[in-house]
Amino acid sequence: MILTVENINVYYGNLLALRDVTLQVGKGEIVSLIGANGAGKSTALKAISGILAPRAGRIVFDGGEIAGLPPHRIARMGIAHVPEGRGVFANLTVVENLEMGAYTRRAGREIRESIEKVFTRFPRLKERSGQLGGPLSGGEQQMLAIGRAMVARPALMLLDEPSMGLSPFLVGEIFQMIEEVNREGVAILLVEQNASMALSVAQRAYVLEAGNIVLQGSTAELQNEPGVRAAYLGG
Amino acid sequence: MLEVKGLTKRFGGIMALCGVDLRLREGELAGLIGPNGSGKTTVFNVVTGIYRPDDGSVAIEGEPLVGLAPHKIQRMGIARTFQNIRLFRNLTVLDNVRAAYHPRVPYGPVSALCRTGRFVEGEKEIREKTMDLLALFSLQVRKDELARNLPYGDQRRLEIARALASEPKVLLLDEPAAGMNPSEVKALMEFLLEIRRRFRLTILLIEHRMRLAMGICERLIVMDFGTVIAEGTPSEIRNDRRVIEAYLGRGTHPDS
Amino acid sequence: MQQVVNGLQIGFVYALIALGYTMVYGIVRLINFAHGDVFMVGAFIGLYAIERCRLPLFAVFLLAVAGAALLAVVIDKIAYRPLRNAPRIASLITAIGVSLFLEYFTALRQVFGPNYYSFPRPFAVSSREVCGVELTNLQAIIFLTTLCCLALLYYVVHRTRMGRAMRAVSHDQVTAGLMGVNVNLVISFTFGLGAALAGVGGVLYGIAYPQVNTFMGVMPGLKAFTAAVLGGIGSIPGAVLGALIMGQSETLTAAYLSSTYRDGIAFVILIAVLLLRPTGILGVPRTEKV
Amino acid sequence: MTGVQRISALARFAAPFAAAAAAGYLLEATAVVNPYWVQIFQLACITSVSALGLNIIYGFTGLFSLGHAAFYGIGAYAAACLMKFGGGESHLFFLAALAAGAACAAFVALLVGLPVLRLTSDYLGIATLGFGIIMKVLFDNADSFLPLMGGARGMTGIARMTSVPWTVVILGIVLVSARNLVRSGYGRALVSIREDEIAAGTAGIDTYRYKLAGFVAGCGLAGLAGGMYAHLYTFLHPSNFDFFKSVDVLVIVVLGGLGNISGTLVASFGWIFLLEGLRVLLPPEYIEFRWVLIPALLIVTMLLRPQGLFGFREFRFFREEAES
């Protein structure tokens, strides 16, 4: 297991947002986390990447305890979190955004190579390499956000709602990209509202409801679970 | 009821709306659908006076309202909610709704200053009305909680309650079903039908998920790239070639 | 024309101070009221370095820069960092507290002392005519030093890894953290960088207007801050532009109207500009997402 | 309500004020307490009135103002000038002068607010700061157009009219009125603007008008306080109304807690008595440490209680209680 989350409790102020959440991601695996809005999906990712500190429980990444560390230290250990809403730096150019992804890396030449690799995968970003990130379209921003995470060469990528606000066509493209990234050996923890999409790419999944994990299993099992079908797959 | 003609709005160089026409019939529950960025929320913002359009007209029951301040438009009978819930976060649930009663307080400032009988009566009346409304939304037990401490679903409901406090004729709901699972959506739908009947409302709601909008609304208005590309009943829309092309994209099914 | 050159002199000094305000505001949205007092400390370090240690001018600048930067970093750590997640007004009040503390603490007899002290001139002031305008060597030094500082600043902000991180943090702290950026470090660096420029400004100010006391930072601080807002707070070129306008308006008012109204005119301009362009001359107009 | 009930209600309402005024009168007349402290007490009452004004502006309506002292100054100069013109020692005229001072400040606030209140958050703060500095420059140069005001030399010879009963009664009336207004639909309108101006607009609240009303009312209170101040110290100087005085009031309001009447009241008294108390408590050779200790204390307080000393809690009197 590359990531093990054990019984974490996370609060917003006094509001309990996650209760006793336990989940695991294996090396090279895609795991989905599905659930309604406000169920705590994003909160789980934030706790893993250090934006929120859990009040109880353990988070072990690559053999080391990371719960409570600041985000920049966790990022340096090899977790890349693509936040909800993409988090593109609107005041930086596309290239500078990608360079920010490589912030934790020092070797200049390898960084250039990684950036070139992103450009070959997303030619549209290359066309816009000198433009600011702000005016990009939603799809381009999502590509940039994922590309930026790739430049960091993480062992684990956390993706928060990559399909949000995208046309169905782009959603398909983004999910293809996610599978490609995964084929290079990057483990992925995917949070999605679009449950059918999320289940189609993942090997395993967890269902969150009101801060608790209520179901887990292989995606094949979950897709046939009547409760999941009713609540998330629209019958 | 509500009539929008040739509405145009630019932001910098971007054409957010170009010549939008739409019409709401009295008492209907219509849906404004379209992919993200197609201009749905901008229509709401222009209709409610938050943005001023570059061109075009909006009228409610024949009364033009372009150029009026948001509060004047509200008093003409249009109330709304926001996509990214905008409650008065540090006020109690009770005060969130009572603030919306303010434009029709039955006492003047001097009366409030001196706490006259009329003030006490007026406050009592507002409180009773507020409590009735909260009861309808099952929020009465939470009346003294701060809005920011409510769970997500309650916040959405409170926002609708606040919009209803002004006794509007037209209610504009911006993605009321965001983040709900199908069974919650069903409950919301029944609830909307109920308040429409009770308050004799005309409702226009925004939803970007096609299937969901079809399940809720009697009539759909489809937008893409700042224009209305189709309108009609769900079954008409389902078979509209332009909608299928522009909205559903190439070869994907209408589930997202 | 002569007045314009004189206006540039004070304008450039204001620019050095205004940059600190604008950068700090850009990154943590804080009006750092203590910045004017950091400028004052820079001037006093300059005073001691010249008078007591008889250091060469270059070393004087280095010392003032280091002292001011260190002070700003310490202030940030003690008074602002604990309040990063508190309402913004809380750190504004501590900024005011720090400002008062620095003014009165340094005014103690045991520290700098409460009086006006004359600032030693490290060189004799001479002037020569350039294109029909009297230009003193003092003014030349001010212009050159400031321009060097600006060039250096541009390089740091736009060409270095740290500068990129600064811009990223100013846009979105949380996401910058996810990129592996140590946000607190970047913020400290920004405070230090702004203070370093103010340190240079303090020494230049001392040389140009050779009298210092511990309250000398108040008015230049307010004006530099106003300049930053005038130009568009958060914008680096805006701060420089605002400061130059401020300098001109001040010298021109003093020359042609009355020096008693000098302090007022600048603010009349400020209010007029804000009413026409609510985010300043070079500020980006913000449309709130609804 | 019958006439008798009305009168008895009025009597019940007025009794505490009468008692406080009488106590104040005795306090002053019998001189059991050092007159210096009595004067400080009055200053604290006056500061409370002014701070309440800023609390309405900033704490309740959410308008960031850094120029409050300018309105305090306008009220002070206006009332003092009027009193000098024709008031003599008449208490009735004094009241009229106070009212006129408040009205003057409110009127200027209206003129300033009309354009400036279109700005938001920090920009509004900076514009009001600018206005404050402009007013200070005008006060400094006032002798050139109205010699009576004395300009940078200060204005002297103002009658000493402010007394303990006056300050106590005025503060009391201001507190009750502020509570009544704030705990009514009008107060809810102001607070909703603070919370979310766009949502307030779509909820039917005329945001511009209420922002203006809140600003004018708050500045009016500053003017009222200024008039009392002028007739307490009988001497006015432009430096009494500079940027630092604006900051003083802001500190009080934030320390007490935004939108919290009790907090403002306690913080005003605490601040004034701390300022003056240190003057007495510190040994003379350390008196200059006063302004080293105060900011240090301020920083520590803010670090420990960033939401103000009181946060949202109010004394019972200031809480909602109009209905059962």
The number of angstroms, rounded, from the C-alpha of A2 to the middle of its chain's C-alpha atoms is: 15
pLDDT at position B80 over 50: yes
Q: Is residue C225 part of a domain?
A: no
Q: Is residue C263 part of a domain?
A: no
Q: Which residues of C27-46 are buried (b: 16+ CB within 10 A; e: fewer)?
A: bbebbbbbbbbbbbbbbbbb
Q: Can you spell out the DSSP letters for B103-127?
A: GG-SS-HHHHHHT-HHHHHHHHHHH
Cβ neighbours of residue D281 under 8 Å, at least 6 residues apart? none
- Nearest C-alpha neighbor of C95 from the set C10, C155, C28: C28
Chain A with chain C: Cβ pairs closer than 8 A: 64
Q: Is residue C265 part of a domain?
A: no
Q: Is residue C282 part of a domain?
A: no
Q: Give yes or no for a contact between A98 and A144, defined as CB atoms under 8 angstroms apart.
A: yes
Q: Is residue C240 part of a domain?
A: no
Q: Which amino acid would we find at residue D130? A: G
Tokens of B255: 């589930």
Question: What's the confidence (pLDDT) of residue B254?
Answer: 39
Range in B180-184, B250-254, D180-184 the model is least confident about? B250-254
Q: Which residues of D147-162 are buried (b: 16+ CB within 10 A; e: fewer)?
A: eebbbeeebeebbebb
Q: Is residue C149 part of a domain?
A: yes
Question: What's the confidence (pLDDT) of residue D2?
Answer: 61
Q: Taking CB atoms and an 8 Å limit, are C94 and D302 in contact across chains?
A: yes
pLDDT in tens, D45-68: 999 999 999 999 999 999 999 999
For A151, nearest residue in chain C (alpha carbons): C179
For A84, nearest residue in chain C (alpha carbons): C175
Question: What's the confidence (pLDDT) of residue C256?
Answer: 86
Q: For chain C, how many structural domains are there in total?
A: 1
Q: Taking CB atoms and an 8 Å limit, are C164 and A87 in contact across chains?
A: no
- The CA-based angle C283-C285-C289, given to 5 degrees, is 140
C98 at the D interface (CB within 8 A)?
yes
Which residue do the tokens 């522009």 mark?
B246
- What tens-digit pLDDT sequence spans chain D (324 residues)? 566 777 777 777 777 777 777 777 777 777 777 888 889 999 999 999 999 999 999 999 999 999 999 999 999 999 999 998 876 778 889 999 999 999 999 999 999 999 999 998 889 999 999 999 999 999 999 888 888 888 888 998 888 988 888 999 999 999 999 999 988 999 999 999 999 999 999 999 999 999 999 999 999 999 999 999 999 999 999 999 999 899 999 999 999 989 899 999 999 999 999 988 888 888 888 888 888 999 999 999 999 988 888 776 778 777 765 443
pLDDT in tens, D15-47: 777 777 777 777 777 777 788 888 999 999 999
- Nearest C-alpha neighbor of C279 from the set D126, D114, D198, D65: D126
Burial class of residue D297 (count of CB atoms within 10 Å of its CB; 0-12, 13-18, 19+):
middle
* Count of CB atoms situated within 10 Å of the CB of C233: 29
Residues of chain D found within 8 Å of residue C79, distances taken between Cβ atoms: 299, 303
| Mean pLDDT, chain B, integer | 87
Which residue do the tokens 């039917």 mark?
D204
> Cα–Cα distance between C156 and C150 in angstroms, integer?
10
Tokens of B111: 């009366």
> Cα–Cα distance between B30 and A152 in angstroms, integer?
46
Prediction ipTM score: 0.87
Cβ neighbours of residue B12 under 8 Å, at least 6 residues apart? none
> Cα–Cα distance between C159 and C163 in angstroms, integer?
7
For C287, nearest residue in chain B (alpha carbons): B11
Q: Which amino acid would we find at residue C219? A: M
Chains that touch C (3 or more CB pairs under 8 A): A, B, D
Q: Taking CB atoms and an 8 Å limit, are C82 and D303 in contact across chains?
A: yes
Work out the minimum CA distance from C289 to partner chain D, whole angstroms.
11
Taking 70 as the pLDDT cut, the residues of chain C under it are: 286-290
The DSSP letter of residue C111 is T
What's the average model confidence in pLDDT over A159-174?
Answer: 83
| Full domain range(s) for residue C37 | 13-121+134-217
pTM (2 d.p.): 0.89
Which residue from A71, A80, A92 is facing C177, i.e. has the nearest CB? A71
Q: Taking CB atoms and an 8 Å limit, are B45 and C289 in contact across chains?
A: no
Tokens of A202: 């993942």
Length of chain C: 290
Q: Is residue C24 part of a domain?
A: yes
Q: Can you spell out the DSSP letters for D146-211?
A: -GGG-GGG-B--------HHHHHHHHHHHHHHHHHHHTSHHHHHHHHHHH-HHHHHHTT--HHHHH
Q: Taking CB atoms and an 8 Å limit, are C271 and D116 in contact across chains?
A: yes
B180 at the A interface (CB within 8 A)?
yes
Length of chain D: 324
Put simply, the chain C residues between 175 and 194 with a CB less than 8 A from any chain A CB are: 175-183
- Nearest C-alpha neighbor of C101 from the set C47, C42, C34: C34
> Cα–Cα distance between A8 and A22 in angstroms, integer?
7
pLDDT in tens, A2-17: 999 999 999 987 778 8
Q: Which residues of A lie closer than 8 Å to B, measured between beta carbons?
A: 15, 36-38, 137-138, 163, 165-169, 171-172, 193-194, 196-197, 230-232, 234-235
Angle between helix A94-101 and A138-151 (nearest 10): 40
Q: Which of B181, B186, B222 to mutate to test the interface with A (most CBs of A within 10 A)?
A: B181
Q: Is residue C160 part of a domain?
A: yes
Residues of chain C found within 8 Å of residue B45, distances taken between Cβ atoms: 290
- Nearest C-alpha neighbor of B130 from the set B99, B107, B155: B99
Tokens of A215: 């179901």
Question: What's the confidence (pLDDT) of residue B255?
Answer: 39
The number of angstroms, rounded, from the C-alpha of C214 to the middle of its chain's C-alpha atoms is: 16
Cα-Cα-Cα-Cα dihedral sign, residues B90, B96, B102, B106 = negative
Residues of chain D found within 8 Å of residue B114, distances taken between Cβ atoms: 180
> Cα–Cα distance between C189 and C169 in angstroms, integer?
12
pLDDT band, residue A235 (cuts 50/70/90)? very low
pLDDT in tens, B190-214: 889 999 999 999 999 998 777 778 8
- Counts of helices then strands in chain A (DSSP H, E): 10, 10
For B150, nearest residue in chain A (alpha carbons): A15
pLDDT in tens, A174-219: 899 899 999 999 999 999 877 888 888 999 999 988 889 999 999 9
